[in-house]
Amino acid sequence: MSEKEGGGIKIICDNRKAGHHYFLEDRFEAGMVLTGTEVKSLRTGKANLQDAYAILKNGELFLINAHIAPYALGNRENHEPLRTRKLLVHKAELNKLFGKSEVRGFTLIPTKMYFKKGRAKIEIALAKGKTGVDKRQTTKEREAKRELAKVSKRNQRG
């Protein structure tokens, strides 16, 4: 059964650095307004969310700096790789996001891009920036968890 028939999720790209640079709070799913060559390029996995972020402008949500490579077999109608893309979100979610991002100083960071039931979707998280101390603390906690897992695995064997 293919990804389209089964309604499964096929991940296109991840933003792994987002968890390192930000505290990720709420996550939500949004659709994207794309051109034909962008969808074809995404199906080949040619996307990057490294420096991308989302902004609220005039009551709408937009994705900025998300790189979708030009389609290799495209013609002169090929898309611009870093163009601003409109995101599709329910009005209630948009109002909630507006309140949190404007009042509390959260940033909207894309964490994943994927296909769900054949449609391109993006997962966006409300994020608060980490300082250098926070990043070191997160690294220490991750290493401690890894050591604990090693010890418990060793104990289970013996």
Show me where the domains of the chain are located: 3-131
Q: What is the value of pTM for the model shown?
A: 0.73
Q: How far is CA 128 from the centre of its chain?
A: 15
| pLDDT for the residue numbered 62 | 92
CATH class as words, domain 3-131: mainly beta
Tell me the CA distances in angstroms from 84 to 37, 76, 114, 118, one per residue in order: 15, 19, 18, 22
| pLDDT for the residue numbered 1 | 39
| pLDDT for the residue numbered 103 | 65
Six token digits for residue 144: 């401690």
| pLDDT for the residue numbered 47 | 86
Helices then strands, counting H and E runs in the chain, come out as: 5, 9
Judge whether 27 and 111 are in contact, CB under 8 Å: yes
Judge whether 47 and 67 are in contact, CB under 8 Å: yes
Q: What backbone torsions phi and psi does residue 4 show, to the nearest 5 degrees?
A: -70, -40
Instruction: Name the stretches of the chain with pLDDT < 50.
Output: 1-2, 5
